[in-house]
Amino acid sequence: MNRKLLHRFGIAWLVFLGICIATYITFKLTIGRSVLAGESRHDFGVVLIDEPSSTFEHTFKLTNRTNKTLNIKNIKPSCGCTTAEPNTRILGPGNVLEIDAKLSLKSSNLKKSRITITFDDDTFHNLWIQGNGRMRQQLSASTGVLPIGQNKPTVMVVFVEVWEDIQNAPEPKIVTDKGVEAKFTRWNIQHKGNDSSGKPARWSGRILVSQTAETIANDAKLTLQFKDNEKIVVGVYTESDTAGLIDEDAANDGD
């Protein structure tokens, strides 16, 4: 390619680039410019969830930046976990629209939602909310009532969510009533944590529960606690033909 042709190519490229920039600026100043001004994104950050779910609320305040009245035709969240209620559906020039947005979370992960406000002329404005939910109670048990026997231990499965980046989860604290014995075996990883999706590491473990006395109290129980979380109480009772019994090898698991 000679110099003259290269020079023409360079000029053509600069012209094309200038047209693209001018088009983009025009779009942002006209078509691409929203009719509303104000905060359009809100992040609740890391929030603790109580079972079965917790709801977090934020109010968006947006100003009509045009010289005409805006009529809201529809407000639609992208997720069933979100609701959005406006303080008005008719917004005069310079008036402020308040959108009461609520995000409900019921599991440990990062939840994002978009709220689309559509006007009667089919223009629209998007709002975004998100929250990184974490269950306040990290530990859970497979049952709330457990039948036990004297011959072989009964298996109870427990689960724990671990937010910190560690190789294993600490053992839960176990307290039993008189005549009841419980032994924790070990944690097994179900899935590793994922920072991008906000999911913690999840572990499952087994507790071997048995009866060590001829009889136990009618209200016998065992209490579980992970770190300084609230305690979990599991009721236990004697059953001659206990469901969920395991063999001797399984009973020795984790020794």
Lowest mean pLDDT across 4-8, 34-38, 69-73? 4-8
Residue 24 amino acid letter: Y
List the CATH number of the domain containing 205: 2.60.40.1510
Instruction: Provide the domain limits for residue 185.
Output: 139-251
- Judge if pTM exceeds 0.85: no
Tell me what the pLDDT averaged over the chain comes to.
Answer: 86
Q: Kindly state whether residues 128 and 149 are assigned to the same domain.
A: no
Average pLDDT over residues 71-94: 96
Residue 231 amino acid letter: K
Q: Kindly state whether residues 67 and 171 are assigned to the same domain.
A: no
Q: How many CB atoms lie within 10 A of CB 199?
A: 20
Q: What percent of the chain has pLDDT over 90?
A: 71
pLDDT digits (tens, 9 = 90+) for 118-172: 999 999 999 999 999 999 999 999 999 999 988 789 999 999 999 876 667 889 9
Q: Which of residues 107, 135, 163 is at a domain's end?
A: 135
What pLDDT, on a 0 to 100 scale, did the predictor assign at position 70? 96
Q: Which of residues 135, 161, 178 is at a domain's end?
A: 135
Please determine, for residue 94, whether its predicted confidence score (pLDDT) is greater than 60: yes
Does residue 203 fall inside a structural domain?
A: yes
Bin 244: left if φ > 0, else alpha if -120 < ψ < 50, else beta. left
User: Do the Cβ atoms of 199 and 193 come closer than 8 Å?
Assistant: yes
What pLDDT, on a 0 to 100 scale, did the predictor assign at position 12? 60
Q: Kindly state whether residues 246 and 143 are assigned to the same domain.
A: yes
Q: Kindly state whether residues 48 and 76 are assigned to the same domain.
A: yes
Q: What percent of the chain has pLDDT over 70?
A: 79
